[in-house]
Amino acid sequence: MTNGIIQDEIERIVQQLKLDQLPNGSWDYPFETGVITDAYMIILLRSLEWNDEELIRSLVARIKSLQEGNGAWKLFHDEPEGSLSLTIDAYYGLLFSGYSKINEPHMIKAQKFIIKHGGLKEAKLYTKLLLAMTGQYKWPSFFPLPPEFMLLPKSFPINFYDISVFGRANLAPLIILASNKYHHDQSGPSLSHLYITRSGQDDWEEYRSKDWNTFFASIQRGIKSLVGVPARLKTMGIEKAKNYTLDRIETDGTMLNYFSSTFYMVFALLSLGYPRDHAIIQAAVDGLKSMACTIDGHVHIQYTTANVWNTALISHALFKAGEPEESQTLMNSVHYLLTQQHNKYGDWMYHNDKAKPGGWGFSHDNTINPDVDDTTASLKSTIPYIPLDPYCMEVWQNGIQWVISMQNPDGGWPAFERELNNPILHLIPMEGAEFILLDPSTPDLTGRTLEFLGNHTHSIKPRKKLQRGIDWLIDNQEKDGSWYGRWGICYIYGTWAAVIGMIAAGISPLHPSVQKAVQWLKDIQNDDGGWGESCLSDTRKTYVPLNESTLTHTSWALETLIAASDEPTKEIEEGIHFLIREGRRNNWTTAYPKGQGMASFFYIHYHSYRHVFPLMTLLSYKENFGEI
């Protein structure tokens, strides 16, 4: 592959990225998450009697456009048959809208799929919670996290702050709702026709296991040790859950910029007697509406925005591609990122009280919920300006110190908070508990942090911390040579992050751990030269091929091989050919999710990835191998 052909593709991508930049310097490529948020938004608007018909009709059109021929909705292209819970959510949203009737062909197909797969009783936990708060399903006789749980002290074996920030954001309002057994009184549709047996209405098998009862009993023991009248303790717990929720409302009116937590917050406030036209509720709904974007001609409500993440990745890539420091494109993007650094303390300080603020969050209006990945990515983008601006140096130092402070005692890095891997929470028999409740060290966060510290912090490189990170990765490598990626799909993503991180931190490309990973990637390369991985990997906890190549997976695999090679191998050449040949493709593999928030529930199509990761890979090829 000649450098001329590669350079042409680099310039094509660069021009596209520059064209898509917003006037404020950021990139607002969509953070697409299927139809779940679209359906929930319809239900929220109708429940509040906010009859924004134009928005509701647009959301209905998008949901209908993504229905499968068998009546189901899928979380991802190769999901077998479809997702029961997502189909219930989508069907409920369409029915609630008033624009789809129960006897229309597309609705009848959905009904048949739901009944065939067990009806409402077989829905996943979060769908049952939606149904309960809107009067379609009875609340369980007991909820395993009662309001008094909010009052348990740090000295108790488990307390509210042992749960991840994502889990807390959703659980605080849910604790209020479950305690009040709230269901919104409205004249919306009935889903009674989706019960196979009437007895299923109060069936919460999730909370009937021995492990759940053991967990609940331990919580009750802690509650009994609290001083106070039981009824008063319950009231205090609800008040604390309410205050936790309200204290984390961001400038856009949402709770921590998450759709789900904001949705639950609105219903929790309604359950406490807030009128539907209360200023907090109005601001929350307006904040959710501000997350709307347009995809393929349809309006989509994003789960959150990805402006900071997009901008950090793209800004660094453009600089690597030769964009000069004085270009308006780079100056605008870095100025945007500088305004997004956090200067407030957030929940992260609960387990990291000696650190000062200095991180970045994922979304535009995020001011108190930083994460390690966005911080290292944003810091990379400031590098060209550190010698030119003392303020950039201050930003840089604050950011690095925050990142270093976030290392876990085991040597790895988490996403949002240190030391959130309480072994008691591992015992909870809750589907997705590891994604909702925990924030442990992960190979992808650890690898990407090592890459940043190893390649970009030469003057303050913390050798012992790097070695501990390397050791953690080696200890957590899969038997086949791969690593699991928590926030991407899935083993290709984790392997990419781990290998580039270890090499940047000083490990030899010839190290057995690296070579085992290299061989694994070579073994799973597709005949067309690319790589592709199914979202099924993250539920089955083993690599599952997609049987098609994607631009993003190919980029991750190639960057790994390039970092571990001193010359362009046959596998690398074939992969580069794929990127050049398919760079303009726009089919289902382009829209296939490359990220995940929670396995089997929440997957993400980052619209920026098809541009930024091929660009970075082509640049790495040129940098490592020079003129070919």
- Domain for residue 206, yes or no? yes
Q: Are residues 291 and 318 in the same domain?
A: no
Least confident of 62-71, 262-271, 381-390: 381-390
CA angle 401, 367, 419 (to 5 degrees): 50
Residues found in the chain: 628
- The overall longest dimension of the chain from CA atoms, in Å, is 78
Least confident of 151-155, 207-211, 397-401: 207-211
pLDDT in tens, 5-31: 999 999 999 999 999 999 999 999 999
Check residue 461 and give its pLDDT: 65
Give me the number of domains the chain comprises: 2
- Encode burial over 272-284: b for 16+ CB neighbours within 10 A, e otherwise: beeeeeeeebebb
CATH number at residue 96: 1.50.10.20
| pLDDT greater than 60 at residue 627 | no
Least confident of 75-79, 172-176, 207-211, 264-268: 207-211
Q: Which two tokens stand for residue 326?
A: 């004085």
Residue 182 identity: Y
- Domain for residue 464, yes or no? no
Q: Are residues 246 and 340 in the same domain?
A: no
Q: Could you give the CA distance from residue 415 to residue 337 in angstroms, rounded to a whole number?
A: 19
Q: Could you give the CA distance from residue 366 to residue 258 in angstroms, rounded to a whole number?
A: 10
Q: Alpha carbon 485 to chain centroid distance?
A: 12
Q: Are residues 238 and 316 in the same domain?
A: no
Q: Are residues 296 and 319 in the same domain?
A: no
Structure letter (DSSP) for residue 148: G
| pLDDT greater than 90 at residue 582 | yes
pLDDT in tens, 123-145: 999 999 999 999 999 998 878 78
Cβ 484 vs Cβ 435: under 8 Å: no
Full DSSP string of 420-445: B--HHHHT---TTHHHHT-B---HHH
Banded pLDDT at 222 (limits 50, 70, 90): confident
Q: What are phi and psi of 356, to 5 degrees?
A: -100, 160
| pLDDT greater than 70 at residue 302 | yes
Check residue 200 and give its pLDDT: 46
Q: Could you give the CA distance from residue 428 to residue 165 in angstroms, rounded to a whole number?
A: 18
If one compares 243 and 154, the residue with the highest pLDDT of the two is 243
If one compares 17 and 599, the residue with the highest pLDDT of the two is 17
Q: Could you give the CA distance from residue 474 to residue 468 in angstroms, rounded to a whole number?
A: 10
Q: What are phi and psi of 57, to 5 degrees?
A: -65, -40
Q: Are residues 85 and 142 in the same domain?
A: yes
| pLDDT greater than 80 at residue 394 | yes
Structure letter (DSSP) for residue 301: E
Cβ atoms within 10 Å of 600's Cβ, excluding its own: 19
Q: Could you give the CA distance from residue 315 to residue 331 in angstroms, rounded to a whole number?
A: 9
Of 268, 301, 334, the residue at which a domain comes to its end is: 301
Q: What are phi and psi of 98, to 5 degrees?
A: 90, -10
Q: Which two tokens stand for residue 376?
A: 């290292």
Check residue 22 and give its pLDDT: 98
Q: Are residues 346 and 225 in the same domain?
A: no
- Domain for residue 363, yes or no? yes
Percent of the chain past pLDDT 90, that is, above it, reads 84
Check residue 440 and give its pLDDT: 95
Q: Could you give the CA distance from residue 477 to residue 175 in angstroms, rounded to a whole number?
A: 37
Q: Are residues 202 and 347 in the same domain?
A: no
Q: Are residues 44 and 157 in the same domain?
A: yes
H-assigned helices in 340-476: 372-382, 390-405, 423-426, 433-436, 443-456, 463-475
- Domain for residue 201, yes or no? yes
Q: Which of 28, 373, 410, 439 is catalytic?
A: 373
Return mean pLDDT, the chain.
Answer: 93
- Domain for residue 446, yes or no? no
Q: Could you give the CA distance from residue 595 to residue 362 in angstroms, rounded to a whole number?
A: 14
Range of the domain at 319: 306-406
Check residue 509 and give its pLDDT: 97
pLDDT in tens, 491-529: 999 999 999 999 999 999 999 999 999 999 999 999 999
Q: Could you give the CA distance from residue 169 to residue 437 in angstroms, rounded to a whole number?
A: 11
Q: If you search the block for the tokens 């907090």, which residue do you land on? A: 280
Cβ 589 vs Cβ 482: under 8 Å: no
Strands 298-301 and 602-606: unpaired
- Which stretch of DSSP H or E encloses residue 92? helix 84-97
| pLDDT greater than 90 at residue 599 | no
Of 381, 406, 431, the residue at which a domain comes to its end is: 406
| pLDDT greater than 90 at residue 432 | no
Residue 41 identity: M
Q: Could you give the CA distance from residue 248 to residue 228 in angstroms, rounded to a whole number?
A: 27
Q: Are residues 382 and 366 in the same domain?
A: yes
| pLDDT greater than 80 at residue 221 | no
Count CA within 13 A, CB hemisphere, residue 152. Answer: 21
Least confident of 111-115, 175-179, 206-210, 307-311: 206-210
Cβ 281 vs Cβ 49: under 8 Å: no
Closest CA to 79 of 545, 489, 536: 536
Check residue 421 and give its pLDDT: 86
- Domain for residue 220, yes or no? yes
Q: Are residues 339 and 277 in the same domain?
A: no
Annotation marks residue 162 as catalytic: no
Q: If you search the block for the tokens 């909702």, which residue do you land on? A: 436
- Domain for residue 596, yes or no? no
Q: Which two tokens stand for residue 391?
A: 């303020």
- Domain for residue 183, yes or no? yes
pLDDT in tens, 304-359: 999 999 999 999 999 999 999 999 999 999 999 999 999 999 999 999 999 999 99
Check residue 201 and give its pLDDT: 46
Of 361, 378, 406, the residue at which a domain comes to its end is: 406
Per DSSP, the three-state class of 122 is helix
Q: Which two tokens stand for residue 317?
A: 């890539």
| DSSP β-bridge partners for residue 35 | none
Q: Which two tokens stand for residue 183?
A: 């269901």
Q: Are residues 235 and 295 in the same domain?
A: yes
Query: What average pLDDT does the segment 142-167 reach?
Result: 90
Q: Are residues 121 and 77 in the same domain?
A: yes
- List, in order, residues 6 or more apart from 328 with CB less than 8 Å away: none
Banded pLDDT at 227 (limits 50, 70, 90): low
